[in-house]
């Protein structure tokens, strides 16, 4: 019997209408079932709720908020019972962030899933990589659209292959060309078993190439009870998540244009369908 995970996309904001929430939820549901599940073997529903008060017990919430005072609180968390949830700031590109958090939560619900492999940093030998399926390819230019909704690219399990293979698919949009490679604007996190330090290779959008960070040394260690992913999220400032994709960005404008076209098409279909069922009602009367 297939286990189905239930994700709740929750609007704890007055800036979003029910139509916008429903449309993004439908896009995330399609992304999970059509694109993500065949690679990662996760079956999930993504349902829309206008308030946390309506969310049934057992759902994993992805909560969209007007304001988050501490930017480091964005992203993945666990509640008092150890259940995963994510906080998303409402911005002009919030669907991209919600997609990112949903996929990463489904791939690693507890924020500590690791896979072994040779280190991408010289001299480290074998390390353990944290499963964060969107981070290496998370920049907006690598996102794609579902019915006008901007959603995140993600890597496949082949991302951790030991060598490149002909026809290998390392991420969904085929932007990543070889295993364990980050794209501009992305990062990858890993644990050095010899020192227990958490490292990152990062490629800030404004830099010419990737570099390495020792997150454990920078932070002075992890807090007690903090999952590995919570620690990494807090140590990884991401302007596109905290502030949204900048206005005028080509990727954002294409998504908006497709969204408007979709709204027009849906409205035309809805009016025609209403006339159909009204006619059927009159005939039966």
pLDDT tens string, the chain, 285 residues long: the values are 568 999 999 999 989 999 999 999 999 999 999 999 999 999 999 999 999 999 999 999 999 999 887 777 788 889 988 899 999 999 999 999 999 999 999 999 999 999 999 999 998 999 999 999 999 999 999 999 999 999 999 999 999 998 888 888 999 999 999 999 999 999 999 999 999 999 999 999 889 999 999 999 999 988 877 899 999 988 887 766 667 788 888 888 888 888 788 788 888 888 888 887 787 777 765
Burial of 70 (0-12, 13-18, 19+ CB in 10 A): exposed
State the DSSP code for 99.
Answer: H
Pairing of strands 60-65, 75-78: unpaired
| Of 33, 122, 125, 79, the residue nearest 230 (C-alpha) | 79
Q: What's the CA angle centered on 5, arms 151 and 140, to 5 degrees? A: 15
Q: How many CB atoms lie within 10 A of CB 91?
A: 17
pTM of the model: 0.91
**How high is the pLDDT of residue 65?**
93
**How high is the pLDDT of residue 74?**
82
CA distance 266 to 262: 6
State the DSSP code for 138.
Answer: -
**How high is the pLDDT of residue 240?**
67
**How high is the pLDDT of residue 38?**
97
* Residue 73 phi, psi dihedral angles, 5° rounding: -85, -10
CA distance 144 to 122: 33
Instruction: Give the residues across from 200 on adjacent strands.
Output: 189, 213
The helix (H) or strand (E) run that includes residue 274 is: helix 250-284
**How high is the pLDDT of residue 152?**
97
Stated length of the chain: 285
Task: Give domain limits for the chain.
Answer: 4-255
């Amino acid at each position: 019997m297939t286990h189905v995970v239930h994700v709740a996309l929750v609007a704890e904001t007055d800036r979003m209408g029910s139509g916008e929430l429903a449309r993004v939820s439908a896009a995330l549901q399609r992304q999970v079932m059509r694109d993500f599940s065949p690679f990662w073997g996760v079956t999930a529903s993504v349902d829309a709720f206008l308030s946390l008060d309506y969310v049934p017990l057992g759902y994993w919430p992805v909560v969209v908020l007007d304001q988050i005072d501490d930017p480091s609180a964005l992203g993945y968390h666990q509640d008092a019972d150890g259940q995963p949830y994510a906080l998303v700031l409402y911005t002009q590109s919030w669907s991209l962030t919600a997609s990112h958090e949903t996929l990463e939560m489904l791939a690693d619900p507890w924020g500590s899933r690791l896979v072994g492999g040779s280190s991408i940093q010289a001299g480290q030998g074998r390390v353990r990589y944290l499963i964060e399926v969107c981070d290496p390819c998370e920049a907006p230019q690598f996102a794609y659209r579902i019915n006008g909704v901007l959603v995140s690219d993600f890597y496949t399990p082949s991302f951790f292959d030991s060598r490149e293979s002909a026809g290998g698919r390392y991420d969904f949009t085929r932007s990543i060309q070889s295993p364990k490679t980050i794209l501009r604007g992305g990062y990858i996190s890993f644990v050095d078993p010899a020192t227990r330090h958490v490292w990152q290779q990062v490629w800030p959008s404004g830099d010419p190439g990737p570099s390495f960070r020792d997150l454990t040394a920078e932070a002075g260690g992890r807090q007690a009870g903090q999952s590995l992913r919570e620690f990494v999220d807090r140590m990884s400032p991401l302007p596109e998540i905290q502030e949204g994709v900048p206005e005028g960005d080509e990727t954002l404008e294409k998504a908006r244009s497709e969204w408007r076209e979709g709204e027009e098409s849906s409205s035309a279909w809805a009016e025609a369908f209403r006339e159909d069922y009204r006619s059927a009602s009159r005939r039966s009367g």
